[in-house]
Structure formats: structure tokens, C-alpha cells
Amino acid sequence: MGYRYATERTDHSALASGQVLRSAPGFPGFPVRLASELLQRAMVHLEDGGIRLWDPCCGSGYLVTVLGLLHRDLLTHVRATDVGADAVGIADRNLELLTAEGLAERERGLRRSARDFGRVAYIERAEAARDLATRLAEMGGDLPHASAVADVFTLTEPVESDLVITDVPYGEMTRWEGNAPQDPVRGLLASMGRVLPARAVVVVTARTRRVRLPEGVQALERVKVGNRSAVLVRARDLASAL
């Protein structure tokens, strides 16, 4: 493997929710540096090469879009699914920012807003969109992506993804929907064990002291940052616990 993660003290203000990426009430963002660190930690446990990333509780698509913009050079495809059609609609628009045309259209829209409303902030956001387009091109250009409405608890067909990173609902701004069992995190992990390739890595974060795994399943790693905990686990280990 040989991949080593590192947290960069880079200015990620352009990726703040509502700047270039679209936001909406009830759809929170995610700490950018933590997202990047979790992906890089997961890469240590994956084979080198293009990684197919999936967020099965995507909300606005913020998390996977940020990771696509930061790590286009590591990813070959991004998938975002959610049980809510409204969420997937926003995610669609954010995922378009993983293309040169999507970022160009976003820049044009922000410049129109700057002209119409006379606010300097819109010009700054337009320039941030242009800078993101330059970065995306330098890392490999447009990132293929897909989105769909799907209930994570009822998935049965195989999903060809190498890495899952998802931030689960925590009851303040977001809540579980669909056919959620009494222990929804355990239900999500069971679903991942059913549909993912055995070698895939699953990263689940939550606002809790510790993300619980099914009995007998060993974590690859655990991470605690502020009020968020994360666990990294191999899909085949989840499958064996079903």
C-alpha cells in the first residue's frame, strides 16, 4: 500500500458550505480537514489506484463533493444516494461542481448575483469557483459521478464501490428516514456488508463518543475529533457478522 495520510493546514474557505457548494436548511456541512483525513486514512487500507467513493446518506452531497474536489487524483468515480428526493436534488447540483462546466456555470451565476445585488462577497465566491476549476483540471479534470434516491436499509443489489464515507444523522438538524431499524447505525453497517465488495472500506462518522460495531467486528481504525467519532472497518468483516 505505502500510502500515508497527512492533514494539511491549507485554506479551505472556498469549500465552506454555501460559498461555492450549494447549501439548504436542514442539510449540514462537514469539517473539511476531517473529511480529507478520513479519506487519506482509508487509503492506507486500500490498494493503490483509482478509488470509487460512495456516500449512502449523502444529504446535500456536500461531503463527497468536497472529497472529489480535494482528492480528484485519488478518485475515479463518486456516488451519492439518499432516501430523500429533495436531498438528492441538491446533491445533483453539487456533484456537477466536479466538472469544468459545472464550476464555470457556478462562477457565471455568482457573477450575475454580484451584478444584480452589488455584493462583493459574490465576486469572491465566483473567483473561488474559478480557482476550484483550475485545481480540478490540474488533478485530472472532470470526475465521473452519479446520484440516486435509495433507502440504505433495503439495498440488495451489489454496489461497486471501494470506499464508503458517510456522516450519519444525529437528531439535531438531520434524522433517520426510510425503513430505519431500532439501531440504524448497525442497520447501515449490515447493509454495507451485504452490497459492497469484500475488500471495500467503510468509514462511518457520528456525533457520539464512539461508533458501535456489531459484536465480533474489529475496527481498522477509530478517530475522535471534537464531538465527532469515526470508525473504519472492512466490508468483509461486516459481511461475516451478518
Each of the 242 residues of the chain gets a pLDDT tens digit; together they read: 444 455 555 778 889 888 999 998 888 889 999 999 999 999 999 987 789 999 999 999 999 999 999 999 999 999 999 999 999 999 999 999 999 999 999 999 999 999 999 899 999 999 999 999 999 999 999 999 999 999 999 999 999 999 999 999 875 545 678 787 888 999 999 999 999 999 999 999 999 889 999 989 999 999 999 999 999 999 999 998 76
| Long-range contacts, 146-149 (Cβ 8 Å, 24+) | 146/77, 146/78, 146/79, 146/80, 147/58, 147/61, 147/79, 147/80, 147/81, 147/88, 147/91, 147/92, 147/95, 148/79, 148/81, 148/88, 149/81, 149/82, 149/83, 149/84, 149/85, 149/88
pLDDT at 1: 41
Rounded-to-integer distance, Cα 210 and Cα 186, Å: 13
pLDDT at 177: 80
Structural domains in the chain, CATH included, are 13-98+143-240 (3.40.50.150), 100-142 (1.10.287.540)
pLDDT at 3: 46
The pTM assigned to this predicted structure is 0.92
pLDDT at 228: 92
In DSSP notation, 85-98 reads: HHHHHHHHHHHGGG
Which residue in 51, 48, 36 sits closest to 6, CA to CA?
36
